[in-house]
Amino acid sequence: MTQIIGYGRISTTEQNPNSQIDALKKAGADKVFIEKFTGTKLDRPELSKVFEYLRDGDQLVITKLDRLGRSTKDLLSLLERLDSTGVRLKVIDQNIDTSTAEGKFFFTVIGAVAEFERSLIVSRTKDGLAAARARGRVGGRKPKLSEKQQAEVKRLYEKGEKTVSEIGELFGVSRPTVYSVLK
């Protein structure tokens, strides 16, 4: 019996997969697999389960092409794997159905465009970070302790007046934070 299997992916635990789940169910998915994993890796736990579950004649449904993969190479590899097992792919948002020659062509073109777009985003991010560093800004969290507090932490520790745990309690920070100040 032919089944429609849904696959969704979010990159971080802060993201919410509900819109993908709703769209996949609306597209008729009998079973939905949701991944909380980066799309830059091809080896993903839930995606592996999807491939174990799929059978000849089934259809895999995803909301967007980038939910399946980030690089054209990976997307084509996954499509080849689906084809070899007799599984069709449907991409809801881009209206792609790989059961047709046109659908496979469109899949390839959109995959290449998505990879290009991702490369541009990465490049712009790197340029922005470099420009910020050139202006003296550094990324990351702000220090939990001011320079004056850090000097006091070092003084207390070097004089042996307090243990690392006591210093942490005194300043309301963890032991690893105290150790990083002492480096």
Q: 121: closest CA among 165, 161, 178, 70?
A: 70
Q: So what's the architecture of 4-119 in CATH?
A: 3-Layer(aba) Sandwich (3.40)
3-55 confidence digits (pLDDT tens): 999 999 998 777 899 999 999 999 999 999 999 877 667 788 999 999 999 99
53-97 confidence digits (pLDDT tens): 999 999 999 999 888 887 888 888 899 999 999 999 999 998 999
Query: Is the confidence at residue 156, as pLDDT, over 70?
Result: yes
User: Measured between alpha carbons, how far is 176 from 66 in angstroms, rounded to an integer?
Assistant: 38
Return the active site residues.
Answer: 11
Question: Which of 118 and 49 is assigned the larger pLDDT?
Answer: 49
Query: In the predicted model, what is the mean pLDDT of residues 138-164?
Result: 88
CB 172 within 8 A of CB 158: no
| pLDDT the model gives residue 113 | 85
Domain regions of the chain by residue span = 4-119, 147-182
| pLDDT the model gives residue 143 | 85
User: Measured between alpha carbons, how far is 66 from 61 in angstroms, rounded to an integer?
Assistant: 13
